[in-house]
Amino acid sequence: MLELVALGSNPTVAAEAAEATGGALYVKHHGERDTIPYTTLVRAATDAIESVARAADVGLYVCFARAVKPERRPLPPERVIASFGLVRHPDRSHREADDHWRDLHGPLALASHSAMCDYTQLSVVVPVSGLPLDGIALCAFESRQDLREKFFDDDEARSAIQADVSAFADTSGSPRRVVLVQQR
């Protein structure tokens, strides 16, 4: 499904955009540092681009949402999402990086992050403004503690994921992880 995705820095404006479009709202987890590239994320399946764009002072994207591991249980109250902006490896085209992310990394992530309760890849189809991203990964965990302590199943999983990511992504050019909490 195609969605408008807004990355921003104003929680009030983001909440208004999500409300106006029936979209999902994610805000920075209270434990995150302030020096991060964005503090809000809005996802909306809408053509009301002007409503979503108001919340996109960091970036606005048309994305294809891939539910690699959809949530199948009721959402826990403290569910947290590790959000990773993806910039493709300089030796790969957008298509090559996205194909690798979908076909190879997705299954590897499922095998390496067993505590992850939801995994969605937001593949950028059209960057409208802002950070030059090729995608945004949303990796959900039931709690901040699970994210911190159970992100990788073990050291072998950590090594496999890191090696794989460096094959399709520019690890130094991609924004660092932002931990969000879904508000609606």
Instruction: Decide: residue 89, CB within 10 A, 0-12 exposed, 13-18 middle, 19+ buried.
Output: buried
Q: How many CB atoms lie within 10 A of CB 2?
A: 12
Evaluate the CA torsion angle 154, 36, 134, 14 in order and state its sign: positive
The domain in which residue 66 lies consists of 2-182
- Give this prediction's pTM: 0.93
User: How many percent of the chain have pLDDT more than 70?
Assistant: 96
The mean per-residue pLDDT over the stretch 101-122 comes to 95
Can you say how many angstroms the Cα of residue 30 is from the centroid of all Cα atoms in its chain?
18
**φ, ψ at 3 (rounded to 5°):** -135, 155
Which CATH number goes with the domain that contains 14?
Answer: 3.30.70.100
Q: How confident is the model at residue 75 (pLDDT cuts 50, 70, 90)?
A: low
- Over the stretch 122-131, which tens digit does the pLDDT of each residue have? 999 999 999 9
Secondary structure class of 159 (helix, strand, coil): helix
What is the tally of structural domains in the chain?
1
How crowded is residue 35: how many other Cβ atoms within 10 Å of its Cβ? Answer: 6
